[in-house]
């Protein structure tokens, strides 16, 4: 009788092990699938496009926010009134849950005339991990540094006259 229970227990343990192994293989496959989708969307419209540069004097550069070695553009809510531009952010959730996929569009707006002078588009995948962790993995496209470098191009420093 004891052997029958051991056999059933071994079978149950084997089934649970197979189920977990299947889930663990499925999660990385799901992440790889969505990472490929994010890459494809990014190749189509990701990156920074500058339509028109904003000319700033060397003294105005002191007013500009900095991101590392680059001049940045603050969000509309955080931009100071004297800054020549601000960013409006639009976030579109393309996939709701595990993994979530989001499209971020940042419109660079010249304050003087409210004209959109550039757009930065990026995509992100978050989660899809097994087991689900408090801090899920992420995948971004393009890399944030590429976005910072691109947004930096919106400014052209005015030449000083000698």
Q: Count CB-CB contacts under 10 A for residue 100.
A: 17
pLDDT above 70 covers a percentage of the chain that reads: 80
What pTM does this model have?
Answer: 0.76
What sign does the CA torsion over 102, 47, 146, 89 have?
negative
Which of the two residues, 135 and 114, has the higher pLDDT score? 114
What does the pLDDT read at residue 4?
53
Q: For 59, phi and psi rounded to 5 degrees?
A: -70, -30
Average pLDDT across the chain, whole number: 84
Confidence of residue 162 (pLDDT cuts 50, 70, 90): low
57-69 tens-digit pLDDT: 998 898 899 888 8
């Amino acid at each position: 009788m004891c052997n029958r229970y051991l056999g059933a227990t071994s079978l149950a343990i084997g089934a649970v092990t197979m189920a977990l192994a299947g889930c663990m293989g499925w999660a990385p496959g799901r992440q790889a699938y969505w990472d490929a989708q994010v890459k494809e969307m990014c190749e189509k419209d990701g990156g920074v496009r500058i339509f028109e540069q904003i000319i700033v004097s060397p003294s105005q550069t002191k007013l500009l926010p900095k991101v590392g070695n680059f001049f940045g553009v603050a969000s509309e809510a955080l931009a100071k009134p004297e800054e020549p531009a601000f960013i409006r952010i639009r976030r579109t959730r393309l996939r709701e849950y595990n993994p979530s996929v989001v499209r971020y569009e940042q419109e660079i707006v010249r304050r003087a005339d409210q004209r959109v002078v550039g757009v930065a588009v990026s995509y992100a995948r978050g989660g899809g991990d097994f087991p689900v962790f408090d801090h899920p993995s992420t995948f971004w496209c393009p890399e944030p540094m590429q976005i910072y470098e691109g947004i930096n191009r919106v400014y052209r420093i005015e030449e000083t006259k000698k």
